[in-house]
Structure 1
Amino acid sequence: MKMKFLSPTINLSFEMNEYIKFLQNIKWYLDQEIVEINDERFSFPTGMLGDIEIRFNHYKTFEEAVNKWNERKKRINWDNLFIMGIDGDGCTYESIRAFDALPYKNKVIFTHIPYPEFKSAFYIKGFEKEQGVKVLIYFKKQFFIRRYLDDFDYISFLNKGIIKGEKE
């Protein structure tokens, strides 16, 4: 859509429980300095934001990642937050419960199996045999060209805060 990213969390990843911790105290974490760490599990830069590890998997250097983080955190529109998560990266049932309890009006967590008991959960078909949802922008193996994310009506979510499927 050729719009500026308004979130520092774009193009990076957290463990799900650390992401929830970040969201529970977001303003405090955004005031913290990111400290570079050498995590040999990854070939991309990583850092610590307080007690939370951030994986900058779309950046070549730590400096580039931190510059983008600092640039984008200044753009946050605190009156128009939309929070998204997935049930991967160490996510458990309790993680989904904690995500659902976050004090944000507009939030959705994409799950690999249905969780009708959680208002913010949206089931993405195709990951039932996995431990969680994988990359949502990957294309499905089917006749029509569709991404997994296309099952979610993200236009209604962003315009009205409504969580529903594309065909509903």
Structure 2
Amino acid sequence: MNIIQRLEWRLYKEIKKRRLKNKTATIISSNCNGEFIYYDMGLQFRTPTINLSFDMNDYIKFLENLSWYMEQEIQPYNDSRFNYPTGMLGDIEIRFNHYKTFEEAVEKWNERKKRIDWNNIYILAIDGDNCTYESMKRFDNLPYKNKVIFTHKIYPEIKSSYYIKGFENEKGVGVLISFKNKFFVRRYLDDFDYIAFLNGKGKYNA
């Protein structure tokens, strides 16, 4: 990233910050997409779903009974597939991708879940991490006004889906916080106008 690109990227984020009205949203995300929105907008983390990820079927089960799961304690669980801490929240697994220890992950989870605004919840998902078509239908039926699932192709029948270009030959969307190979510095996530979304205006094109 050269100097001009860095300046433009900084200006781009500043313009977004000025547009954002809802600065206390709780973003429940299946992976790091929500975290980077908080980070780029300079907002306090008002969600426990930071630096972690879920299998999509576990994530949807989590959302189907969110208040109950938030009352449960995370138990240590050793999943040999991963080289980072994992835990069980009731019957779902949480992958603490960006924590060094299980204890640190649980401490941060408990600290941040106290900040949840139950009247200001926004839900983000992806059609990866073992997501199936049935998973998307279940997600679409979740009782949340503000929810979106990012998909690698168009699903007009899935009302909460939002198509992200660039992953058509994959099984699902890739890492949306990766930068595109363009002159202007943009992430795949920036194809989605998350400012309008958080301001309560639904799914808008950026």
Q: Same fold by TM-score, threshold 0.5 exceeded?
A: yes
The secondary structure found in structure 2 opposite 1:162 is coil
Q: Tell me how many residue pairs correspond in the alignment.
A: 166
Q: Residue 105 of structure 1 corresponds to which residue in structure 2?
A: 145
- Change in Cα spacing, 1:19 to 1:25, as seen in structure 2 (3 Å) is same
Question: Given the alignment, which residue of 130, 147, 165 partners 2:187?
Answer: 147
TM-score (norm 1): 0.96
Task: Map 1:13-162; keep pairs closer than 5 Å.
Answer: 13-162=53-202
Q: How many Å separate the matches in 1 of 2:189 and 2:183? A: 16
Q: How many Å separate the matches in 2 of 1:161 and 1:17? A: 27
Q: How large is the Cα RMSD of the aligned pairs?
A: 0.9
Cα distance, 1:143 vs. partner? 2.9
Cα distance, 1:100 vs. partner? 0.6
Structure 1: unaligned runs, 5 residues or longer: none
Q: How many Å separate the matches in 1 of 2:51 and 2:174? A: 15
Q: How many Å separate the matches in 2 of 1:84 and 1:146? A: 19
Q: How many Å separate the matches in 1 of 2:43 and 2:91? A: 31
Cα distance, 1:119 vs. partner? 1.4
Residue identity in the other structure for 1:119 = K
Q: How many Å separate the matches in 2 of 1:98 and 1:161? A: 23
Structure 2: unaligned runs, 5 residues or longer: 1-40
Percent identity over the alignment is 70
Residue identity in the other structure for 1:121 = S
Q: How many Å separate the matches in 2 of 1:131 and 1:3? A: 32
* 2:205 maps to 1:165: yes
Cα distance, 1:10 vs. partner? 1.9
Q: Residue 4 of structure 2 corresponds to which residue in structure 1?
A: none
Task: Map 1:4-19; keep pairs closer than 5 Å.
Answer: 4-19=44-59
Preserved contact between residue 106 and residue 161 of structure 1 (Cα < 8 Å)? no
Question: Which deviates more, 2-11 or 148-157?
Answer: 2-11
TM-score (norm 2): 0.79
Q: How many Å separate the matches in 2 of 1:151 and 1:3? A: 20
The secondary structure found in structure 2 opposite 1:54 is strand
Q: How many Å separate the matches in 2 of 1:11 and 1:121? A: 23
Cα distance, 1:161 vs. partner? 3.8
Question: Which deviates more, 153-162 or 82-91?
Answer: 153-162
